[in-house]
A and B are shown apart, each in its own frame.
Chain A
Amino acid sequence: MKRYLKLVNFEVNRFLKLYVVLLGVTILSQIIGVIVNSRSYLNRANEIIYENFLPKSEFIENYGAMSFVDIVDSVWFLGPILACGVVLIIYVFFIWYRDWFGKNTFSYRLLMLPTARITIYFAKATTILLFVLGLIALQLLLLPVETQVFQWMVPSEFRADMPIQAITNSPNLSILFPNSFIEFVLYYGGGITAVFIVFTAILFERSFRIKGIIFGIVYCATSLLIFLTPLLVNTFMLNHYLYPMELFFLELAVGLIVLACAIWIGHFLLKNKIRV
């Protein structure tokens, strides 16, 4: 356990600088986004109201009041979220390969540690999960701040206020914030399972090099196929025999099996096959 904690701490520290940059960019870009979008709305309102002599109430009726969702849909807001996502996806690979291609043969030292090698595997996965959830938490912390800025910028008669829950339910953000806690666990659980599968595929490549790439791809495809089996069988062979609830529990079970296989194969490769 202590080894595991140490390793997690070590991995987190290795990525921390870049992570802090990501956090900073997100905060900055989103707050600028709030200001820019509010300004442009107000400018347009001014133009229309003063140039066309349209009463305020009529302008709001015709063009609609501004809500925070308008800001959420802008590049300023979604851009950094997307960028963070891409960086983290790249880091899923990088977190392994930097040990091999880094300055010195670090992987050698790492694999020689007097601990079960699977701990390394878990530590890396934990780090990724921690970073993802950290970004989600940051977004949640940012939203109240941003709505406050929005309220300072736009006078109340031009504004349609919404609770944070309604904002996170808007189409673009509902991907990050599922409706209920159960769904949150399911979505991010699915995500971390995918990370485990990719980790194992990377270990295939590290164990068998060129041949390993093919093994890795075949392994990923097989995992996906196994995961989709209940759905495919229900649709094409059973003629939709199963109800959604039954299918869900079947998928959950199969998902857990796929996850267990990924960890087990990863463990096997690390222990017996990995080449430094």
Chain B
Amino acid sequence: MKRYWKVISICLITILVIGTFYIQSSLATSNHGKIEFEKVSGDEDELQNIMLIGNFLPDDSNLYQRLQITNEETIDSTNLSFFQRLSKAGTPDLLEDLVEKHKHFMRSKELIPNYFFEDEQIVAYVNIKNSNKQQMKELTFDIEVLTKQSEEVTAFQVDVPQKENNYSMNVVDIQVINNDLKIITRGGNREELRVYTIDRNTQKLVSDEMITAVPVVENSWSDLSIIDDTFYSIGKQKYLLIKIEVFDRNSPYRDDGKRHAVVDELILYDTENNQAKKIDKPSEMVESMDSSSAIYDSTIFIPSQTANSVEVHQYDIENDKWGEILSFDLSDTKDNERGFHTQIVNGKLYTIRDTDHGHTIVISDLQTGKSLYQGKLKVTNQGEVQKNYRLYIYGIEDVQ
């Protein structure tokens, strides 16, 4: 035995050191910072169905932990186990449920939320196939519909009507209304949104209409975006809100470093009735719109931040009217503020601010303008080294 002391000691040290390291790191991952809500006023039930998405990271490095925070638990999604990560790999959060429930149907599909639609009865999937790789000609819609109850899958293809110079085209959204499958696409030689309606019974194209297109202005660049909190959902949506901006390349920059838009339009598309209409808007409106805007019932809400408050513009779609501006006072926290996140989810306004004394969260009802819940986010279970880690919240999701 004595002769082997070198080999034996190399073995022992190696096993001990590597073993200890992995035991410690598995303990450390289960020991990540946990975020808890501390009520100041209001109803705690308001926290029941929401999930905050944020990062927890040291100020000066990119070693972050991505946290999903609910009032029950804090999930550190950067520290999932190997098999958890493997089973989630390549599947966006929005499609995880579908993959789990309809494993077979979801095989061999491009897992992009825009390509899917789900309601109580069916799951639909549409992708564009291009048989001529060099040019964007001979395009077909590759359609598959799963009837949930019978688990029956109908697959068929419909040719996309010839369009000259189609250099790009992709599916932006799918809606199924009764027997009609509506495919909203984006593309064309100038940026345009089209809707193709396909009858599911006859599997034929019924109509092909343009929703809107970016106006052609010489020497300019344009920006077409779809604005909605639920845009990246796969459920039913009555309205799509479209923002179009065109900027002149030669126009001078303004003080804020942006250029003046030659065209700025806000277009509302009604998916059920195939109708698009322009919305008359207060002049500064379009520019300030971002992803925090949302449609709830038949009202468009557009929040904007001011020094001590959040102002919410509201537009009544059915009556075609801008309503009064709602103002939510936030002047109660005097501390030095750093981060500010505002989002509208399910007709409620969420504001989360990062102050010197931690994060505050305020939930307000947009109908009544009343505050429903006020609270603080407390970081507990914070390890010694995580002391100078900071929390950044950048998203709120509805998890019902």
Q: Check A240 against B108 for contact (C-beta < 8 Å).
A: yes
Once bound together, how far apart are the Cα atoms of A179 and B29, in whole Å?
Answer: 10
Task: Report the minimum CB–CB distance from A43 to chain B (whole Å).
Answer: 19
Q: Check B63 against A136 for contact (C-beta < 8 Å).
A: no
Task: Report the minimum CB–CB distance from B385 to chain A (whole Å).
Answer: 5
**With A9-B6, A160-B58, A162-B63 given, is the CB distance from A241 to B108 under 8 Å?**
yes
B283 at the interface (CB under 8 A from A): no
Please report the total number of A residues contacting B with Cβ < 8 Å: 43
Task: Report the minimum CB–CB distance from B53 to chain A (whole Å).
Answer: 21
Q: Check A136 against B18 for contact (C-beta < 8 Å).
A: yes
Q: Check B7 against A8 for contact (C-beta < 8 Å).
A: yes
A28 at the interface (CB under 8 A from B): no
List chain A residues, Cβ under 8 A from B63: 69, 162, 166, 169-170
Once bound together, how far apart are the Cα atoms of A136 and B16, in whole Å?
Answer: 12
A113 at the interface (CB under 8 A from B): no
A18 at the interface (CB under 8 A from B): no
Task: Report the minimum CB–CB distance from A187 to chain B (whole Å).
Answer: 11
Q: Check B83 against A244 for contact (C-beta < 8 Å).
A: no
Q: Check B90 against A244 for contact (C-beta < 8 Å).
A: yes
A47 at the interface (CB under 8 A from B): no
List chain A residues, Cβ under 8 A from B18: 133, 136-137, 140, 184
List chain B residues, Cβ under 8 A from A170: 63
Majority secondary structure of chain A interface residues (helix, strand, loop or mixed): helix
Give the residues from 31 to 88 in chain B that come closer than 8 angstroms, CB to CB, to chain A: 58-61, 63, 79, 81-83, 86-87
Per a CB cutoff under 8 Å, which of B16, B26, B108 touches A180? Answer: B26
Once bound together, how far apart are the Cα atoms of A23 and B81, in whole Å?
Answer: 32
Task: Report the minimum CB–CB distance from A181 to chain B (whole Å).
Answer: 4
Task: For B87, give the chain A residue with the smallest CB separation.
Answer: A245
Once bound together, how far apart are the Cα atoms of A158 and B299, in whole Å?
Answer: 51
A148 at the interface (CB under 8 A from B): no
List chain A residues, Cβ under 8 A from B107: 240-243
Per a CB cutoff under 8 Å, which of A162, A165, A244 touches B87? Answer: A244
Q: Check B7 against A165 for contact (C-beta < 8 Å).
A: no
Provide the B372-389 mask, 1 if CB < 8 A to any CB of A, else 0.
000000000001010010
Give the residues from 1 to 47 in chain B that come closer than 8 angstroms, CB to CB, to chain A: 3-4, 6-7, 10-11, 13-14, 16-18, 21-22, 24-26, 28-29
Q: Check B7 against A130 for contact (C-beta < 8 Å).
A: yes
Q: Check A12 against B90 for contact (C-beta < 8 Å).
A: no
Task: For A65, give the chain B residue with the smallest CB separation.
Answer: B60
Once bound together, how far apart are the Cα atoms of A8 and B25, in whole Å?
Answer: 31
A238 at the interface (CB under 8 A from B): yes
Give the residues from 174 to 198 in chain A that come closer than 8 angstroms, CB to CB, to chain B: 177, 179-184
B307 at the interface (CB under 8 A from A): no
List chain A residues, Cβ under 8 A from B3: 9
Q: Check A13 against B108 for contact (C-beta < 8 Å).
A: no
B399 at the interface (CB under 8 A from A): no
Residues of B within 8 A of A (CB): 3-4, 6-7, 10-11, 13-14, 16-18, 21-22, 24-26, 28-29, 58-61, 63, 79, 81-83, 86-87, 89-90, 99, 103, 107-108, 383, 385, 388
Q: Which 10 A-B pairs rank lowest in CB-CB distance, beginning with the nearest?
A: A137-B17, A64-B60, A244-B89, A181-B22, A137-B14, A239-B108, A133-B14, A163-B385, A182-B82, A165-B25
Extra A-B contacts (11), CB below 8 Å, given A5-B4, A65-B60, A162-B61: A67-B58, A130-B11, A134-B10, A137-B13, A137-B16, A160-B59, A165-B24, A166-B63, A168-B25, A184-B18, A248-B86
